[in-house]
Amino acid sequence: MAKRFNGQLISADSRQVFKDLDIGTGKDKNLVGNIYGYDLVEAKDRFSLGQYLKLANKKITEIQKQGKLPIVVGGTGLYIKGLIDGIPTALIARNEDLRKTLSEKTPGKLFDILAQFDPTKAASLNQSDRSNPRRLVRAIEIAQARQTGLSVKKLKKRMNVCQVGLTTNLSFFEKRIKERIQARIVAGIEAEICDLFTMGVTWNDQAMTSLGYKEWQGFFAGKKNLEEVLSDWQKGEMQYVKRQLVWFKKDKRINWFDISDPLYRKNVENLVKKWYPRGTNAKEN
């Protein structure tokens, strides 16, 4: 599609931003020269939604100035939502002192603290959010920042967007996941993790909470065998697929295509042609 419409690819994958996490995150090294969003930070660094939006928005502007079509690809829903609609709280920084104070508190206690800061936000949370310490801490962080008078800057919206979603039945997803994981084992994911350790990366670093990496912690501690790693990895990937589908299905602007349909690529191209007619003059190759 990028070749057909003179486009430039931008990754919206929150784990491909980390250097040296290549095999487990599924980076397509054949596209390294043509995709933006790989290897933005070191594996030991932290990376936030706010950082991504700053960098990606800047890149989108550059691509548009070159007369090319920005094509955002990937599955991190919050990254994509931030680019399309803007997220006012994205640039509120982490408060490490606050996080340390809250680190030992239960979800119930965190919810009570949030209710004191922002009762409206607390009331809007579903049961899943109320049980998620990470989301509760972030909500408290944002609420506290607002109380201190910190201004919240809304990022620029990009309203003229054509969204394409690819899907199929869950059994097909499961088969593809198993094949992909096996390929990553053969490609050397275990050795890649060993290399990360030699660089000083630890299990406590943000990068190592990624799917395809965190499942290995018990293996390296001698508490899991390879078969258990594979089973946990496959389950984790499948659960993530289901969460992605739930997230993206809520957005009625997305045009869905079943990848089991032999004509789906042509159908996607026809949709984009209607939305971006000037791109039809690009050379086909």
What residue numbers bound the domain in which 138 lies? Answer: 96-147
- The answer on pLDDT for 177 being more than 70 is yes
Structure confidence by residue, pLDDT tens digits, 6-28:
999 999 999 999 999 999 999 98
Whether residues 231 and 272 share a domain: the answer is yes
Give the pLDDT score at 285: 38
Residue 230 included in any domain: yes
Residue 2 included in any domain: no
Q: Which of 235, 184, 199, 181 is nearest to 22 (CA)?
A: 184
Whether residues 29 and 137 share a domain: the answer is no
Question: Which residue has 């509760």 as its token pair?
Answer: 136
Give the pLDDT score at 118: 86
Residue 207 included in any domain: yes
- For residue 163, report the phi and psi dihedrals to the nearest 5 degrees: -105, 130
Residue 68 included in any domain: yes
| Banded model confidence at residue 230, pLDDT cuts 50, 70, 90 | very high
- HEC string of 238-281? HHHHHHHHHHHHCCCCEEEEECCCCCHHHHHHHHHHHHCHHHHH
State the average pLDDT over residues 204-223: 96
Q: Are 271 and 164 in contact (CB under 8 A)?
A: yes
- The answer on pLDDT for 154 being more than 70 is no
Whether residues 83 and 177 share a domain: the answer is yes
State the average pLDDT over residues 237-261: 94
Residue 1 included in any domain: no
Whether residues 76 and 119 share a domain: the answer is no
Whether residues 73 and 122 share a domain: the answer is no
Whether residues 82 and 168 share a domain: the answer is yes
Greater confidence (98 vs 181) lies with: 181
The total domain count for the chain is 2
Q: Are 267 and 261 in contact (CB under 8 A)?
A: yes
| Banded model confidence at residue 156, pLDDT cuts 50, 70, 90 | low
Whether residues 166 and 205 share a domain: the answer is yes
